[in-house]
Amino acid sequence: MNQPPLLLASSSPYRKELLARLGLPFNSASPDIDETPAPGESAEQLALRLATGKARALAEHYPDTIIIGSDQVATLPDGTLLNKPGSHQKAREQLGLSSGNSVRFLTGLAVLDTRTGTLKTRCEPFEVHFRELTAEEIENYLNKEQPYDCAGSFKMEGLGIALFRSMEGRDPNSLIGLPLIALIDLLRELGVNPLLQP
């Protein structure tokens, strides 16, 4: 069986950049799904549902394709969800709550082979321990990077690294939005091995 085309179910420039590192040709398309958490839904359930929803939303339009969906949820120890802030004020509030705290990131990953209907999913956890941040540090950081489209209000691949005391997890790429190690695992299960590409 020839390798089917890959489709990234995302318009995120961060996810596109990560997937490009694998050297596999791919296209991308933006799925339209409702990202509202369901009542009683855990952070892990939400991340997996959104990732799966993104992949399934494009399946009808992309037969004979492997579709990659990914979505991220961040939570404080008390269970508070940290979504994409969307504004300076909300980002300031989020970083204020994260200061001196540990934030758990759960990145849902769904890989759907539309040739067979096979769906493979993973949820990749990653823990970030924030420094104690002053109001001035938070304000200065936000003015420099404006991470308003990033869950948790930071860009780990940029100056956001300066916000952290330490990080724990298998794959720091999951913090940027696409857990590459888990993705390679799932692609290999579907017969796509980045190490064996011409």
Burial 185-194 (b: 16+ CB within 10 A, else e): ebbeebebee
Which of these is catalytic: 32, 34, 71, 171?
71
C-alpha to C-alpha distances, 114 to 6, 17, 26, 66, nearest whole angstrom: 11, 24, 15, 6
Cβ-defined contacts of 25-30 (< 8 Å, 24+): 26/68, 29/58, 29/61, 29/62
Active site residue 71: yes
Closest CA to 75 of 92, 97, 96, 100: 97
* CB of 29 closer than 8 Å to CB of 58: yes
For residues 180 and 173, what is the distance between their CA atoms, to the nearest angstrom? 6
Coil, strand, or helix at residue 45? helix
Residues marked as catalytic: 71
